[in-house]
Amino acid sequence: MTTLADFTLPLLDGTSQSLAAYTGKAMLLVNTASKCGHTPQYEGLEALWQAYKDRGLVVLGFPCNQFGGQEPGTAAEIAEFCTLNFGVSFPLFARLDVNGPAQSPLYAWLKAAHPGDIEWNFAKFLVGRDGQVAARFAPDILPAALEPAIEALL
């Protein structure tokens, strides 16, 4: 059975990151964008990361330019935007596709557990310590609203 630990993806700085590094942790995976109405959710995602990282939660951001071209920048521009505007310190990966023929295998796997195309930027998947998808949340669900689901996994 495939788990999240089976995937390796490039970070924004180009280095490869195996998701196996997060084995035994709960994970929140979010497709992100810098020029979206939901972009202020970065602040809430960072707050979750700070509040729960010592208890076993990892927040992972996956920039995506598939929705209205709202993530057009280079990797360096994305990193700078997130750090300067929202103080993002959780891992950010290289831009990827979440839908369509060029979708990342990671997102194909996530959507197999909770079917349907990703609707927009800031769709969220919560993965349990067992590496399996526990829940999917729509883009308009604010990060703070995920706390009960996160608590249940920790």
Distance CA 154, CA 151 (A): 5
Give the position of tokens 């996530």. 110
pTM for the model: 0.96
Parallel, antiparallel or unpaired: strands 26-32 and 57-63 = parallel
Provide the pLDDT confidence category of residue 34 given band limits of 50, 70 and 90: very high
Provide the pLDDT confidence category of residue 52 given band limits of 50, 70 and 90: very high
58-91 pLDDT, tens per residue?
999 999 999 999 999 999 999 999 999 999 999 9
pLDDT of residue 2: 81
- Give the closest residue to 27 by CA, choosing from 91, 85, 70: 91
CATH code for position 66: 3.40.30.10
Which residues are designated catalytic?
36
DSSP code at position 95 = P
Distance CA 138, CA 58 (A): 19
pLDDT of residue 29: 98
pLDDT of residue 140: 97
Determine the average pLDDT of the residues in 33-62.
97
Determine the average pLDDT of the residues in 7-13.
96
Q: Is 101 left (phi over 0), alpha (psi -120 to 50) or beta?
A: alpha
Question: Which three-class secondary structure state does DSSP give residue 110?
Answer: helix
| Residue 127: domain span | 4-153
pLDDT of residue 3: 85
- Strand (E) or helix (H) holding 127: strand 124-127
The total number of structural domains that make up the chain: 1
140 Cα distance to chain centroid: 14
Question: Going by C-beta distance under 8 Å and a sequence separation of 6 or more, which residues neighbour residue 74?
Answer: none
pLDDT of residue 82: 95
Computed from CA positions of residues 49, 44, 134, 9, in that sequence, does the dihedral angle turn out positive or negative?
negative
87-143 pLDDT, tens per residue?
999 999 999 999 999 999 999 999 999 999 999 999 999 999 999 999 999 999 999
* pLDDT at position 149 over 90: yes
Question: Going by C-beta distance under 8 Å and a sequence separation of 6 or more, which residues neighbour residue 73?
Answer: 34, 81
